[in-house]
Amino acid sequence: MSRVCELSGKGPMTGNNISHANNKTRRRFLPNLNDVTLQSDVLGQSFKLRISAHALRSVDHRGGLDAFLAKSRDEELSDRALKIKREIAKAQAAA
């Protein structure tokens, strides 16, 4: 399982641990990923996604999964999230 957010595309970053003696060793900064279930209002079903805490706050701020996916760029989304976005757009066009 990769350590990349499915909605925002956030992944691991690298940096240095710096000791009191100013010794530098390489380290990784991992995103705060959580397994969550988000509800789609248009489709009427829920989806399990692995997203960062920052992306979860953004979903709440934008008004739900449907609104978040409508405003997000396709390059940032995972394949599963992109498929959900297309299903939502198709259901909105039909309604």
Q: What is the CATH number of the domain that holds 37?
A: 2.30.170.40
Residue 62, in any domain of the structure: yes
Residue 59, in any domain of the structure: yes
Residue 5, in any domain of the structure: no
Q: What is the pLDDT of residue 13?
A: 97
Residue 56, in any domain of the structure: yes
d(CA 10, CA 45): 25
First to last CA, the chain: 36
Q: What is the pLDDT of residue 66?
A: 96
Could you list the residue range(s) of the whole structural domain that residue 54 is in? 13-94
Q: What is the pLDDT of residue 2?
A: 85
Number of domains in the chain: 1
Residue 83, in any domain of the structure: yes
Per-residue pLDDT of the chain (95 residues), as tens digits, is 689 999 999 999 999 999 999 999 999 999 999 999 999 999 999 999 999 999 999 999 999 999 999 999 999 999 999 999 999 999 999 98
